[in-house]
Amino acid sequence: MAQLMTAFVGPAILRITTQVNMGSRLSFVFLMLVISFIVANARNLDVLSEFDVQLDNKVRGETSVGTNEKVCTLCEEYASQAIKYLAENETQSYIVSALHDACSQLHALEKQACSSSDICISLVDYYLPIFFLEVSELSSEELCERVNLCGESVLLKLPKNDGACTICHDVVVEILTKLKDPDAQLEVMEMLLKGCNQMGNYAEQCKNLVLHYGQLILINAQTFLETTDVCLAIHACNYSQDLTGSVLADA
């Protein structure tokens, strides 16, 4: 359920978060990027080898282990901030309000008794409380283990001398690559369509909404990552380390 919610509102939350508290709270964006990457590219975390990013524990040397611990520590730090941020009533109210406002911008679907705006609001009202509840029950350690950034294997293959800045840029580039992958896009669309089956009388309208606007959501997410220096915003990089222009150009 949380996976569906992430895929549905992830790009909108990314945009919302950039408008307020551009300091440490934007660490939330980094976490959403990581989660969205995983959700968009695997039905099961056990098949991540398909993307050639899982490290074999048997062949990792001391340097790799040190790097993996760094990735885990970074994930737990950002996850802790994100969970705390999402638990605040002010944050939840702002996200609900902003998503309702975004829904109101949608045009009515043709030949539908219920407008796309109404369906969008219903989806937000249905899934967002569930999303907040499930996140509140997670610890940062559990979350990072679930997404394979801590534990026996890690999700990213990194160079030897990686700081938080390089790690962040590697994640952003990998996500951008997957967002441009038709198979990854199809995976997200399939999850959203399956989620519509739980909307009762709104199921068909929900599916029309996903088919009508799903691709636009993915494009907006890609545009956001290409035009926003996320790593600088969450303080994973400082101005002297800002490599986004050159790194993202190669994505």
Q: What is the pLDDT of residue 234?
A: 65
Are residues 189 and 219 in contact, defined by beta-carbon separation less than 8 angstroms? no
- Model pLDDT for residues 36-47, shown as the tens digit of each residue: 443 333 333 333
Q: Check pLDDT > 80 for residue 71.
A: no
What residue spans define the domains of the chain? Answer: 2-249
- From 15-24, 81-90, 221-230, 237-246, the region with the lowest mean pLDDT: 15-24
Closest CA to 121 of 209, 187, 37, 43: 209
- Model pLDDT for residues 171-216, shown as the tens digit of each residue: 788 778 877 888 888 887 887 788 778 777 778 877 887 787 777 7
pLDDT band at 160 (very low <50, low <70, confident <90, very high): very low
pTM higher than 0.85 for the full model? no
Q: Check pLDDT > 70 for residue 224.
A: yes
Closest CA to 24 of 250, 234, 247, 181: 234
- Percentage of residues in the chain with pLDDT exceeding 90? 0
Cα separation, 101 vs 218, whole angstroms: 19
pLDDT band at 81 (very low <50, low <70, confident <90, very high): confident
Q: What is the pLDDT of residue 220?
A: 76
Q: What is the pLDDT of residue 183?
A: 85
Q: What is the pLDDT of residue 102?
A: 73
Closest CA to 155 of 41, 4, 58, 244: 41
